[in-house]
Chains A and B, each alone.
Chain A
């Protein structure tokens, strides 16, 4: 038995919640512009510094710090596309970014797998990447795919093996957060070109994209930036992700942390626009807190006010946003904390409206994979998706004739109207899987069973043998050169 992939179910909502006022958005932008002009951002890359110099930025070669005048920033930012397409192996799964639609992915880059069969912790592998891509390929909540864990059995070229594993296991768009450096990126482009058919086709319908982290405070990662330039030249979307941590890598006040992170992202975006005007870039800030007593990285403290403010900041710049949901600080799934941390995330995200969002399915602050977590997080996603759907108020749903027919003190079970609607009125989540005679099963057990069923029954159309052979050849070359 094989199971068909159900249609995608992005969050759709025209309702909007604003956490920041227009004035606050302007103040934050003004702060970013001042940081860029007065403090500057360090780009430890000759290639980047040269591009900045050519466009009249103030570059201090000694310190590698670039300072950007506001008009240069605004000119460069004017060419950032507001929307673009993240294409997939199957064109019907292409994500055409647009207002009012939010696509989610699974979390990425975990370092430890809790083995699905033995329950024991072990280093993550390429096989885990492939298996989880297949699970996410099946889930309607997953619009695109992140390699969920690291292919630790593949050494230095693991980022390319992670792409290989994903492309072979999903028909959806794949986004990496590990392909760093020009050399690795060139290999990734070569692989993507084989799949797309040509460079032109890849530019038109990029079948992968990359997230590059900036380093708070105000530093860029050399391999990250040089890889990003490589992809931008090919028209492949790149996102810059700042993770300012309150108290350690950022001011301990949220506004300052957001301005700092924004300045990092905008400086990198300006670079890409100067080098390749119009190249697709997305914006992402994932703020966190350092525990003032231990330094522990905390993603979910009690007070997370305006958690999705970064999405508004991105939109204020005219950029699409990668929002941050999930990735509980809890050590294992199925605990109160694992759900409490993240349960509201997809709901808020749906109300603020990032175009794309990461990421379902890892625990222990993005480091540990329990396969069932993705199913549990998917359930929370579906709760949010339903919560945001419009209510149908119409003669048919008001059912006044049915109410009149039953009258006071009757019941509705024997009505044709009820017969038609009742079966769908209560949507079953993981919490309402029946077990005879009338109880409900343990949702964690149900989630594990779903993983097993998907892995056993959902198979993705393999890459054509000729193309697969090419990919394998490119990977082998990468292993020889970079491994």
Chain B
């Protein structure tokens, strides 16, 4: 019975069906299945399967996106019960990410957020055109391990420096790693503004985030 439920949960993630994933989560709560089990034995294997298929070239970005959305739908329903039972989900780290003020380029930032999410990071996406202080506020609020700042314009990349300064001003610098990226950014630029890392694409940003937090892949 529970085995069947877990199989259906896994499948809802593979199919990217948020509605089905949510229904199954409610069913789990109604039938007394532990929320932590539902997540770790039901849904997570689905995400793992999607991640593997993606790496193998059998699945594509929309599959990943829809799987992540279905996962989110399930977790939202299970989270209150999970908290009440004192259980905790394993996450690789908390990441606050956004595109800097004045800049609306969001695809690259979304890619990085998605790759990090699928590698087990909890993502807080602030969207685009985000003031530097907002990164610091959010980092404090969610107790972030990493702040990621995207900038695609040479006229906005200076804002990445402002984020570093805002994190310092908020007294968070020792707790938060700052990473930057986007077309005009380089390792040299990251060094110059006192960020902790730069990466050229989504896959490299996962390696970077893991390395900064001392996680082995």
Contacts and interface: CB of A to CB of B under 8 A. Distances in A.
B201 A294 contact: yes
Interface in A103-124: 111-112, 123-124
A337 B202 CA distance: 24
Interface in A264-319: 290, 292-297
Given A150-B154, A150-B155, A158-B155, A247 B62 contact: yes
A294 B57 contact: no
Contacts of B82: none
B33 interface: no
A255 B97 CA distance: 33
A40 B183 CA distance: 31
B80 interface: no
Contacts of B201: 294, 296
A268 B155 CA distance: 24
Contact of A292 (B61, B183, B184): B61
Interface in B176-213: 183-184, 201-203
Interface of B is mostly: helix
A367 B108 CA distance: 15
A221 B108 CA distance: 18
Given A111-B154, A150-B155, A295-B61, A221 B104 contact: yes
A217 to B, nearest CB: 11
Given A112-B184, A293-B60, A123 B107 contact: no
A215 B104 contact: yes
A150 B155 CA distance: 9
Contact of B60 (A245, A292, A296): A292
A382 interface: no
Interface string A241-272: 00001011100000000000000000000000
Contacts of B111: 294-295
Contact of A293 (B57, B104, B108, B184): B57
B154 A123 contact: yes
B44 interface: no
Interface residues of B, number: 18
Contacts of A16: none
Nearest to B54: A293
Contacts of A296: 201
B202 A152 contact: no
B76 to A, nearest CB: 25
A110 to B, nearest CB: 9
B53 to A, nearest CB: 11
A152 B154 contact: yes
Contacts of A75: none
Given A112-B184, A294-B201, A247 B61 contact: yes
B184 A111 contact: yes
A112 B158 CA distance: 16
A294 B107 contact: no
A5 interface: no
Contact of A297 (B107, B110, B158): B107
B159 to A, nearest CB: 11
Interface residues of A, number: 26
A441 interface: no
B107 A248 contact: yes
A155 interface: yes
Contacts of B60: 292-293
Contact of B61 (A155, A221, A293): A293
Given A123-B154, A150-B154, A247-B62, A294 B202 contact: yes
A156 interface: yes
A152 B108 CA distance: 22
Nearest to A156: B155
Contacts of B110: 248, 295
Nearest to A292: B60
Interface centre among B104, B108, B110 (most CB of A within 10 A): B104
Given A155-B158, A292-B60, A292-B62, A245 B104 contact: no
A156 B202 CA distance: 29
A158 B202 CA distance: 30
B183 A111 contact: yes
Interface string B140-182: 0000000000000011001000000000000000000000000
A357 B60 CA distance: 34
Contacts of A293: 54, 57, 60-61
Contact of A123 (B108, B184, B203): B184
A249 B154 contact: no
A294 B115 CA distance: 10
Interface string B54-77: 100100111000000000000000
B96 to A, nearest CB: 20
Contacts of A249: 107
Contacts of A158: 154-155
Contacts of A152: 154, 184
Contacts of A124: 154
A292 B64 CA distance: 10
B11 to A, nearest CB: 22
Nearest to A365: B183
Interface in A199-221: 215, 219, 221
B183 A290 contact: no
Interface string A137-159: 00000000000001010011011
A290 B61 contact: yes
Interface in B66-122: 104, 107-108, 110-111
Interface centre among B104, B111, B154, B183 (most CB of A within 10 A): B154
A297 B108 CA distance: 9
A-B interface, 5 closest residue pairs, ranked by CB to CB distance from nearest: A292-B60, A295-B111, A111-B184, A150-B154, A152-B154
23 contacts: A111-B154, A111-B183, A124-B154, A150-B154, A152-B184, A156-B155, A158-B154, A158-B155, A178-B155, A215-B104, A247-B62, A248-B110, A249-B107, A292-B60, A292-B62, A293-B57, A294-B201, A295-B108, A295-B110, A295-B202, A296-B201, A297-B107, A367-B183
